[in-house]
Amino acid sequence: MAALEYEGRHFEVRPGETVLDALLAGGVDAPHSCRSGHCRTCLARVVDGSIPRGSQVGLKDAWRELGLVLTCCTVPETDLVIAPVGGLGLEVGATITETVRLAADVVRVRMTLDAPLEHRGGQYVTLVRGDGLARSYSTANVPDRDPFLELHVRVIAGGSMSGWLAGANLAGERVAIRGPDGECFYVADRTTEPLLLVGAGTGLAPLWAVAQDALRRGHTGRIVLVHGAVEAKGLYLVEELRELTREHGNFEYVGSVLRGEPEAGIEIGPIDALIRTRFPSLRGWRVYLCGNPELVFDLRKKVFLAGASTRDIHADAFVGRPTRAA
């Protein structure tokens, strides 16, 4: 008999019984559907206790690292504390240390946190202003390397949060950070395999974090980062990325713009065409896709058809993060 804790409630799991069985028997309206480990409706996170064998079958590596399990296939081997997937968020206070323009429509915001936030570089967090205004942004740095948290904020005409961040110097301003969430982070279990990082606009933020994390953890496989923008002035961190290319023989940066004059290191044309031409086969590649939903969903299908396994596609569509003023 194993003890199970879920949202502060306590249950007992009989030998051979699954966590889902115990929750349902205990009157919890736990989400579930196929009860066979396929549909993923019953995903939850193991917060404490050891992850039972067979409870993560078929899940992406990033999800495994986050402790996600299929509760319909989770037969406890120890006492377990389980949380709903959506309910991971903690909130920590933070102090903004700088706000700097990286491009015409991108502001880099750095802040120090009152307490460490358990997050992986590239996951997203929610920034909460004193008056409660909240917006989600991807983290752009590796937390255990830097003493600060970095976000890249797209400046939207008339945007409440981005307008505030892009306005006056906010050093010293108090905010809160909630989170983290998302699957866009580096998983260090296959260090020799190639990584393709593709993003547009501030989709560069998580990719920048993933690239730095991968290189720092000794990834030896090829790493190609493709950053897209409408015009060359929308590309940012260009010098830093070129520097990374000079420092690491396995790192490659490609700027991709829809229109403009030809320039070294920058390709002109649709980003999906560039990917198709350069990477006709993505079999064996791990692919990260970040940015606006239309691009991410379109590319996800295309890289899958080019041979990447769905388990190796880490997508972060910036849903609910407007790309233009309403």
Partner 1 sequence: MYTGYMNSGRAPLENHVTSLYERLGGEPAVSAAVEIFYRRMLTDDRVARFFDGVDLDGQIAKQKGFLTMAFGGPHHYTGKDMRAGHAHLVARGLNDEHVDVVIEHLGATLIELGVGGADVEAVAAIANSVRDDVLGRPAATPARRG
Could you list the residues that contact partner 1 (CB under 8 A)?
34-40, 57-58, 297, 300-301, 304-305, 309-311, 313, 315
Report in angstroms how near the CB of residue 58 gets to partner 1 at its nearest.
5
Closer by beta carbon to partner 1, 58 or else 269 = 58
Closer by beta carbon to partner 1, 101 or else 311 = 311
Q: Find all residues with CB under 8 Å of 201, minimum gap 6, and list them.
A: 105, 106, 154, 228, 229, 234, 291, 292, 323
Give me the residue label for tokens 């879920």: 6
Report in angstroms how near the CB of residue 16 gets to partner 1 at its nearest.
15
Report in angstroms how near the CB of residue 34 gets to partner 1 at its nearest.
5
Closer by beta carbon to partner 1, 174 or else 311 = 311
Closer by beta carbon to partner 1, 33 or else 169 = 33
Report in angstroms how near the CB of residue 311 gets to partner 1 at its nearest.
7
Query: Which residue in 183, 253, 180, 177 sits closest to 212, CA to CA?
Result: 253
Report in angstroms how near the CB of residue 57 gets to partner 1 at its nearest.
5
Which residues does residue 268 pair with via DSSP β-bridges, in sequence order? 257
Query: Which residue in 128, 133, 135, 134 sits closest to 176, CA to CA?
Result: 128
Closer by beta carbon to partner 1, 69 or else 313 = 313
